[in-house]
């Protein structure tokens, strides 16, 4: 079976064929480390993690490179704002390097909590200034740049296919009113973009490096081109990001990369849709934003959010609400309980061989390999969990196999431990209090058990006790 992916460049689903037979070169735009990631950002990383897991499950080796943007990402897309890290450093009265370190660590804590597989290479922009300068020099030699007002610009009129990914209507744009955008008078074409800044309109820039064009710092777009080519070669297989990267960031990455090499840069472009909140697209500029830490405060586990995200296709918008997260939480817990009872019953990994089990596996792969259809893949997981006619070992093995793509950590679920004697003594005491209708004592003992990590459940046939999941 083969993997089918929707390529934004062709606007169609294509069969994925990597340039090297079994090894995939994958570049995903990483975080700009000036603040915590909000859960809308994390949705994009989760889609990329699912892509990677599906490629691995399908037998490919994946060479995954992700950057850390720690310089040059301005608050405005048109080179018109302030460096995001620099602004935060001023606000928090810290060094910009400390800001970068702090939020990089926070980002990977979220990354791990969501059970995402770490990239093969994580590269910081500030560690690759040399590669960026080299790339700008190449562009200069080929006549694609000009210097104006101290900055080095890429001239989009020096190439004939600018905007091909976004299918930009350049003439229509030039005629449209641009009153809403701060115009940089130094640009020959308003769509030209900065490769190297030597001046900042917003005062001192802490991060500066010497260059042939003067002391300065790189533009945001050049870093992804320079680092991806450094680690993956001048042409590679897949580049991903959120759909908001299409019209400017990825458009400019393509323009400068292909102008520098004269070759097609990336074969498959994949983009994840937005997470919406009540007011529309989730963003950090709208006051308090939703982070994984905030979800935890509301009593959710990071994997509840992963389950919620898997329930929608990555190319569909997803509207976030605590109600839908609650539903995801209860669904994930039910799957966890089903897996725990399989483990309690002694289920073992085996080789899938029955026709029914093989049919389930094919069904799952058909969905997940068809442009990562996670909602349908989850439906197959549920069918298997509920199907009592399958053998216990095959059922357990299928669930773990599906989880290679879904990443819900079902393989970490262990059998119930025997409940320690002191806990059982408290539980017995609580049962006696309950039988004597001493509700106060019975409730107090229930709370004490909860504090020790055990849940008492009262059913029609009496009470039971189990360890919290
Ligand atoms: Zn990028």
The pLDDT of residue 83: 78
DSSP line for 126-157: GG-HHHHHHHHHHHHHTT-EEEETTEEEE-GG
Whole-number Å distance, alpha carbon 240 to ligand 1 midpoint, is: 8
With cut-offs at 50, 70 and 90, classify the pLDDT of residue 182: low
At residue 179, the pLDDT reads: 47
Q: Counting beta carbons within 10 angstroms of the beta carbon of residue 56, is it exposed (0 to 12), middle (13 to 18) or buried (19 or more)?
A: middle
**Spacing, Cα 228 to ligand 1 middle (Å):** 9
The H-assigned helical ranges of 345-391 are 355-368, 374-386
Query: How far is the centre of ligand 1, averaged over its atoms, from the C-alpha of 54 (Å)?
Result: 22
Distance 224 CA to ligand 1 centre (A): 5
If one compares 278 and 233, the residue with the highest pLDDT of the two is 233
Q: 48 alpha carbon to ligand 1 midpoint, in Å?
A: 14
Distance 308 CA to ligand 1 centre (A): 26
Which 8-state DSSP code applies to residue 125? G
**Which percentage of the chain shows pLDDT scores above 70?**
93
CA atoms within a 13 Å half-sphere pointing along the CA-CB vector of 67 = 29
The rounded Å distance from CA 249 to ligand 1 centre is 6
* Whether pLDDT at 185 is above 50: yes
Cα(379) to ligand 1 centroid in Å equals 34
Q: How far is the CA of 268 from the centre of ligand 1 (A)?
A: 15
Mean pLDDT, residues 275-288 taken together:
73
pLDDT confidence band for 460 (50 / 70 / 90): confident
The sign of the CA dihedral 184, 166, 267, 249 is: positive
pLDDT of 469 > 70? The answer is no
**Hey, which CATH number is domain 315-412, 1.20.120.1910, 2.40.50.140, 2.30.130.40, 3.30.930.10?**
1.20.120.1910
**100 CA → ligand 1 middle, Å:** 17
CB atoms closer than 10 angstroms to residue 187: 20
Ligand 1 centroid vs 336 CA: distance in angstroms?
37
- Mean pLDDT (the chain) is 91
Length of the chain in terms of residues written? 469
CA of 250 to the centre of ligand 1 (A): 7
Q: Residues with Cβ < 8 Å from 17, sequence gap 6 or more? A: none
Give residue 221 CA to ligand 1 midpoint distance, Å.
6
Distance, CA 67 to ligand 1 centroid (Å)? 8
Secondary structure of residue 108 in the 3-state scheme: helix
Distance 319 CA to ligand 1 centre (A): 25
pTM: 0.88
Question: What is the CA(41)–ligand 1 centre distance, in A?
Answer: 14
CA distances from 284 to 39, 289, 293 (A): 10, 6, 15
6: number of Cβ within 10 Å = 19
What's the average model confidence in pLDDT over 33-48? 94
Sequence spans of domains, the chain = 4-272, 315-412, 421-467
Task: Find tokens 């049919």 and name the residue.
Answer: 359
| Comparison of pLDDT for 271 and 149, the residue scoring more | 271
Kindly report, residue by residue over 124-167, the tens digit of the pLDDT.
999 999 999 999 999 999 999 999 988 999 999 999 999 999 98
46 CA from centroid of ligand 1 (Å)? 17
Contact indicator for 208, 216 with CB cutoff of 8 Å: yes
pLDDT at residue 279 tops 90:
no
- Going by their DSSP bridges, the two strands 217-218 and 236-242 should be labelled as unpaired
**In this structure, are residues 28 and 64 in contact, taking their beta carbons and an 8 Å threshold?**
yes
Give tens-digit pLDDT for 389-425. Answer: 999 999 999 999 999 999 999 999 988 777 888 999 9
- Domain 4-272: give its CATH code: 3.40.50.620
Pairing mode, if any, of strands 23-28 and 217-218? Answer: unpaired
Q: Report, as an integer, the average pLDDT of 176-188.
A: 65
pLDDT at 381 over 90: yes
Distance 370 CA to ligand 1 centre (A): 25
- Give distance in angstroms: CA of 433 to centre of ligand 1: 63
Distance 32 CA to ligand 1 centre (A): 10
CA of 115 to the centre of ligand 1 (A): 23
Task: Report how far ligand 1's centroid is from the alpha carbon of 119 (Å).
Answer: 15
Beta strands at 275-277 and 236-242: parallel, antiparallel or unpaired: unpaired
Task: Give the residue, 201 or 246, on which the prediction is more confident.
Answer: 246
Distance 421 CA to ligand 1 centre (A): 56
Q: Which residues contact 174 (CB under 8 A, 6 or more apart)?
A: 190
- Grade residue 177 by pLDDT with cuts at 50, 70 and 90: very low
């Amino acid at each position: 079976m083969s993997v089918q992916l929707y390529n934004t460049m062709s606007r169609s689903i294509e069969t994925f064929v990597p340039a090297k037979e079994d090894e995939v070169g994958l570049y995903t735009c990483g975080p700009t480390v000036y603040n915590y990631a909000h859960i809308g950002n994390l949705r994009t990383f989760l889609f990329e993690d699912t892509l990677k897991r599906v490629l691995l499950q399908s037998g490919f080796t994946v060479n995954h490179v992700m950057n850390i943007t720690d310089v040059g990402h301005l608050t405005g897309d048109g080179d018109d704002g302030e460096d995001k890290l620099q602004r935060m450093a001023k606000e928090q009265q810290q060094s910009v390097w400390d800001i970068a370190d702090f939020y990089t660590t926070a980002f990977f804590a979220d990354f791990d909590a969501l059970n995402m597989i770490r990239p093969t290479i994580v590269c910081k922009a500030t560690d690759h200034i040399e590669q960026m300068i080299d790339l700008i020099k190449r562009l200069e030699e080929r006549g694609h740049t000009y210097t104006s007002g101290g900055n080095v610009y890429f001239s989009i009129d020096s190439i004939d296919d600018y905007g091909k990914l976004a299918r930009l209507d350049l003439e229509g744009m030039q005629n449209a009113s641009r009153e809403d955008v701060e115009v940089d008078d130094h640009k020959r074409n308003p769509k030209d973009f900065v490769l190297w800044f030597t001046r900042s309109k917003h005062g001192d820039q802490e991060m500066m490096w010497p260059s042939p064009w003067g002391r300065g710092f790189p533009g945001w777009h050049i870093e992804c081109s320079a680092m991806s080519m450094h680690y993956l070669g001048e042409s590679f297989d897949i580049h991903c990001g959120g759909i908001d990267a299409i019209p400017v960031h990825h458009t400019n990455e393509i323009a400068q990369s292909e102008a520098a090499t004269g070759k097609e840069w990336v074969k498959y472009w994949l983009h994840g849709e937005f997470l919406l909140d009540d007011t529309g697209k989730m963003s950090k500029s709208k006051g308090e934003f939703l982070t994984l830490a905030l979800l935890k405060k509301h009593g959710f586990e990071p994997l509840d959010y992963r389950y919620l995200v898997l329930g929608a296709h990555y190319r569909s918008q997803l509207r976030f609400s605590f109600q839908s997260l609650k539903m995801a939480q209860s669904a994930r817990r039910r799957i966890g309980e089903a897996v725990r009872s399989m483990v309690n019953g002694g289920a073992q990994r085996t080789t899938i061989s029955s026709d029914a089990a093989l049919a389930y596996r094919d069904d799952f792969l058909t969905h997940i390999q068809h442009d990562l259809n996670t909602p349908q893949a989850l439906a197959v997981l549920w069918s298997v969990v509920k199907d009592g006619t399958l053998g216990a070992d095959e059922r357990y093995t299928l669930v773990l196999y599906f989880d290679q793509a879904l990443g819900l950590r079902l393989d970490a679920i262990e059998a119930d431990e025997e409940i320690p004697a002191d806990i059982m003594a408290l539980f017995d005491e609580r049962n006696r209090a309950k039988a004597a209708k001493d509700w106060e004592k019975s409730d107090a003992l229930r709370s004490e058990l909860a504090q020790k990590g055990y849940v008492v459940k009262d059913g029609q046939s009496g009470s039971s006790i189990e360890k919290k999941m």
